[in-house]
Structure 1
Amino acid sequence: MDDQPRPLPPLPPSRLSQLPPPPSSNTYIIQIPRDQIYRIPPPENEIILRNLDIERASKKKKQLDPRCFYWLSSIAIVLILLWIFFAVFRAYFQPKTPEFSVIGLVLRKGSSSNKHANPSYDITLKAQNPNKNMDIFYKKGGNVSLLFKRDRIGGGEYPSISQESKESTTIHVTLAGLATQLPKEIETRLNAKKASDGPISLSLVVSEPVEFKGLITFKEHLTVTCDFRVNKFALSTKPKIISQECRTNF
């Protein structure tokens, strides 16, 4: 038996035309079935990667720029410092309104030449300067009014005085009786022989330009309203003040 390989039969001419041309030197061709060819990345991953790139780009845009963060921090620090400054300014330099109270009232007869003249009123006030670092100067041009209900029964000027910080001052004011008809209740009490009609309510209103002086000077217009009650209301008497409430504002 002959073991030598038999030569391959020659290919038909139709098959020879389908073969690829012979390779050149040092060139090799490897043929792989089509179903075993893979792409990197696979086609289905392209959409996922594209979406990831878009999402990363949008996140990067939303991230705070370090320069923007620096400016925001600077603005916040400036606002905090301004708040601290105004808090200190308000605590030490903003003026507090003085505290008033009525401590005395005396009724005087009218002019001797006119028996029907309305009485005058001597009023004693106490003013307290609550400011630690400011003096108060009460300027000219202020006025004081005494009212019964809504009727003004006396008026006069507020004196020009000065107060040092934390100083308490006693102020005397004389209010002339107005040349108008007094309310009937007041007139009845003044003509009574005895002051036995019980308490009466009155109001004292002070309108006064003031100046607060410290490291900084403030000019304000002060309004004081004191509602008080006295136990009697008669000529040449010194009524006792039994209750009062004073309000002071600019």
Structure 2
Amino acid sequence: MEGPRLPPSATAHESDDDKPDDPPSAWHRPTSSLPSLPSQDPPSHHWRNHSLKLSPTPTTPLPSLPPPDSIPELETYVVQVPRDQVYWTPPPEHAKYVEKRRSNPEKNKKNGCFKRLMWFFIILLVFAFILGAITLILHFAFSPALPVFSVEGLTVKPSNFEVTLRADNPTSNMGVSYLMKKGGLVSLMYKNKSLGRGKFPKMSQAASGSDKVDVKLDGSTKNAVMPPRGSKQPVSLVLMMELKAEYEAGPVKKNKEVVVTCDVKVKGLLDAKKVEIVSENCESEFKN
């Protein structure tokens, strides 16, 4: 591989000028335009190894930098900047709506009243629906059942009768109190003839309760045509009661009018103080 080209020496240039037949080189400049070059020694044997040193170490020391100037003392300044003011401009649709409402104040007033009335009726309907639902639930949840009566004994005295009854309350979630209906009576009859009348004593029963009650009736058998003494034929009597039943379960209260009719067949009505009951059947019904 050849080494780098060296610039042509002055001798060589002169020798070329002595040959007028040779044409001058196209890339060479005239000798007079080239600066004088210093003389160079031929490259040493290991010139490529020296050429690989891309960053040669400088031989001269770098000049030392001057010491930095002292930092001046900082001063504090308070700058007051006014707060940014943001202005909001509503869209033009809002302006049109406001103008429309201003142009028809009477219509807007009527619309407002109509809306208020509509909301009032809606709230009223909702309230009525809730109240009806609660009433319906309470009606089915707290529905009183008819009381059940039965005749267990009958005692005849010179001036009155004493009837022993058993009263059962089949309502499982409501207690009941029995009172005499205004103008009502308890009567014992034989062939549509009254033998005695009286009043039912006030009595209270718990839910699913069962109690005995004695009812006294003023009267006698003297004014009635009865079978002769010693007759073994049963006598049919009818006991009727008109009562007022008040059912209660906490805040829930219900009032009912109860009519009780008992068909009773007895023996020894005139011969013994305590009459034998052959059969009995009582039926109850609500009047309201």
- TM-score > 0.5 by shorter chain: yes
> Of residues 204, 207, 211 in structure 2, which corresponds to 1:162?
204
Give RMSD over aligned pairs: 2.8
> Of residues 139, 145, 149 in structure 2, which corresponds to 1:96?
145
Within 5 Å, which residues of 2 pair with 1:203-218?
203-215=238-250, 216-218=252-254
Structure 2 residues not aligned, in runs of 5+? 1-128
**2:154 corresponds to 1:105:** yes
1:140, distance to aligned residue in structure 2 (A):
4.2
1:174, distance to aligned residue in structure 2 (A):
1.0
1:90, distance to aligned residue in structure 2 (A):
4.7
Within 5 Å, which residues of 2 pair with 1:81-230?
86=136, 89-110=138-159, 120-141=160-181, 142-177=184-219, 182-184=223-225, 186=226, 188-189=227-228, 192=229, 195-215=230-250, 216-230=252-266
The two structures have a TM-score, normalised by structure 1, of 0.55
The two structures have a TM-score, normalised by structure 2, of 0.49
1:89, distance to aligned residue in structure 2 (A):
4.2
**2:277 corresponds to 1:241:** yes
**2:267 corresponds to 1:231:** yes
Q: 1:107–1:235: 8 Å Cα contact kept in structure 2? A: no
Whole-angstrom distance in 2 between the partners of 1:214 and 1:152: 38
1:198, distance to aligned residue in structure 2 (A):
1.5
Whole-angstrom distance in 2 between the partners of 1:160 and 1:84: 32
1:234, distance to aligned residue in structure 2 (A):
1.3
CA offsets 1:84-143 (integer angstroms, 9 cap, x no match)? 984x54543111111000000011013xxxxxxxxx111000000001111111124452
1:206, distance to aligned residue in structure 2 (A):
0.7
Which structure's relative contact order is higher, taking Cα pairs within 8 Å and 6+ residues apart? Answer: 1
Whole-angstrom distance in 1 between the partners of 2:237 and 2:133: 44
Q: 1:121–1:154: 8 Å Cα contact kept in structure 2? A: yes
Query: Counterpart of 1:127 in structure 2: which amino acid?
Result: A
Partner in structure 1 of residue 84 of structure 2: none
Percent of aligned pairs with the same residue?
31
1:169, distance to aligned residue in structure 2 (A):
0.8
Whole-angstrom distance in 2 between the partners of 1:235 and 1:176: 19
Q: 2:175–2:207: 8 Å Cα contact kept in structure 1? A: yes
CA distance 1:225–1:236, shift in 2 (3 Å): same
CA distance 1:85–1:211, shift in 2 (3 Å): closer
Q: Specify the SS of the correspondent of 2:275.
A: coil
Whole-angstrom distance in 1 between the partners of 2:211 and 2:161: 20
Q: 2:180–2:242: 8 Å Cα contact kept in structure 1? A: no
Whole-angstrom distance in 1 between the partners of 2:235 and 2:174: 37
Q: Specify the SS of the correspondent of 2:274.
A: coil
Q: Specify the SS of the correspondent of 1:233.
A: coil
Count of paired positions: 156
CA offsets 1:148-205 (integer angstroms, 9 cap, x no match)? 1211110001101100001101000111106x97232x2x54xx3xx33421100100
CA distance 1:90–1:170, shift in 2 (3 Å): same
CA distance 1:183–1:130, shift in 2 (3 Å): same
Whole-angstrom distance in 1 between the partners of 2:274 and 2:222: 23
Q: 2:265–2:278: 8 Å Cα contact kept in structure 1? A: yes
Whole-angstrom distance in 1 between the partners of 2:233 and 2:268: 6
Larger radius of gyration: 2
